[in-house]
Amino acid sequence: MSAYDVYALGNALVDMEYSVAVEDLSRLNIDKGVMTLVDEAHQLRIMEHLRERDHHRGSGGSAANSVIALGQFGGRGYYSCKVADDELGHFYLKDLTDGGIATRDNRFLDKGDTGRCVVLVTPDSDRTMCTYLGISGNLSVHELDADALRASKWFYTEGYLVTSDTARVAAIEARKIAEQAGVKTALSLSDPNMVSFFKDGLKEMIGTKVDLVFANEAEAMGMADTDDFNQAVDYMKTIAREFAITRGPEGALVFDGQSLIDIDPIPVTAVDTVGAGDMFAGAFLYGLTQGWGHARAGRLASAASAKLVTSLGPRISQAESQAVLKQVESL
């Protein structure tokens, strides 16, 4: 029996989420709806502009959100990351372990700044992220726990790691360890900007072919260099044995290795789309690790993502996760 359902590798970022107007983005000269890497000085200028506004703080990072979601459904997760020996780093690790996720013994943390992500949510429920990686930008093979990885059913990582040379190498090495151990491999393309500016690096992370890729429409079409969704679907089959493409209000399209499966959307009034793709991935992986078929796993992922976007933040509560799970299990 595997010790973990999913071993995840990703950036450790403390999310700081603000509600803003579109005019704020223009005033701060920030591209709307994407993730942009910024230096500390730039991020501090943004935070100074918003200093009198309330905000929510929580441990984040794309893969972290996914593995915590998996844990809330009842899955067993392990997360490899890098935080600093500062207040935010200790906050992050406590939040992670409080969520039931195992991680490496980090008593001997390095000095530096734990990564931060300022999340700006506009009235149309879109999210714009300005990320200062801090010490997470130095994530490397030293943060890997090969024994935990080999003892897992799935290895999962985020495309955001492509922006750091050492983190990209770590993701590639982890994939190779997983492949050699018979552990299934999964990757999220993460953001249209990652595809636009780091496509070659993403291809390195994917290698010959991974078992599962998560993407949204823009990311899938960007990887395929096409504006035709059907051509993007055909391309995805060349880089992954299975995939899931989220399509917002149109639901999602899942490929189980043989057939394409349409996952119906669940109509809701969206308040905040932060973390919707992460939740989809975490819920979908939970379903697969429990032996569910792709259609049922997709229904759970769709229901969980729909629940997530009705409130602020990249997570829902344990009770809400269990309620969604029971609803899908009863169908």
Instruction: Assign 3-class secondary structure to the chain.
Output: CCCEEEEEECCCEEEEEEECCHHHHHHCCCCCCCEEECCHHHHHHHHHHCCCCCCEEEEECHHHHHHHHHHHHCCCEEEECCCECCHHHHHHHHHHHHCCCEECCCCCCECCCCEEEEEEECCCCCEEEEEECHHHHHCCHHHCCHHHHHCEEEEEEEHHHHHCHHHHHHHHHHHHHHHHHCCEEEEECCCHHHHHHHHHHHHHHHCCCEEEEEEEHHHHHHHHCCCCHHHHHHHHHHHEEEEEEECHHHCEEEECCCCEEEECCCCCCCCCCCCHHHHHHHHHHHHHHCCCCHHHHHHHHHHHHHHHCCCCCCCCCHHHHHHHHHHHHCC
246-287 pLDDT, tens digit each:
998 899 999 999 999 999 999 998 887 878 999 999 999 999
Q: Average pLDDT for residues 121-142, to the nearest whole number?
A: 92
> Does the structure show a pLDDT above 90 at 239?
yes
Phi, psi dihedral angles at 60 (to 5 degrees): -145, -155
Q: Does residue 125 surpass a pLDDT of 90?
A: no
Tens digits of per-residue pLDDT, 51-60? Answer: 889 888 888 8
Mean residue pLDDT across the chain: 94
Percent of the chain with pLDDT over 90: 82
Across the range 149-163, mean pLDDT stands at 97
pLDDT at 191: 92
Task: Identify the pLDDT of residue 307.
Answer: 96
Write down the pLDDT at residue 14. 93
Does residue 105 have a pLDDT over 80?
no
What is the average per-residue pLDDT within 97-121? 88
pLDDT, average across residues 132-160: 96
Across 2-22, average pLDDT: 94
The pLDDT value given to residue 311: 86
Mean pLDDT of all residues in 129-136: 94
- Residue 249: the pLDDT is 86
pLDDT band at 143 (very low <50, low <70, confident <90, very high): very high
Model confidence at 21, pLDDT cuts 50, 70, 90, reads very high
Q: Which CATH superfamily is domain 4-329 in?
A: Ribokinase (3.40.1190.20)
Is the per-residue pLDDT at 313 higher than 80? no
Confidence of residue 1 (pLDDT cuts 50, 70, 90): confident
Domain coordinates in residue numbering, the chain: 4-329
For residue range 201-220, list pLDDT tens digits in order. Answer: 999 999 999 999 999 999 99
Place of tokens 């200093």: 51
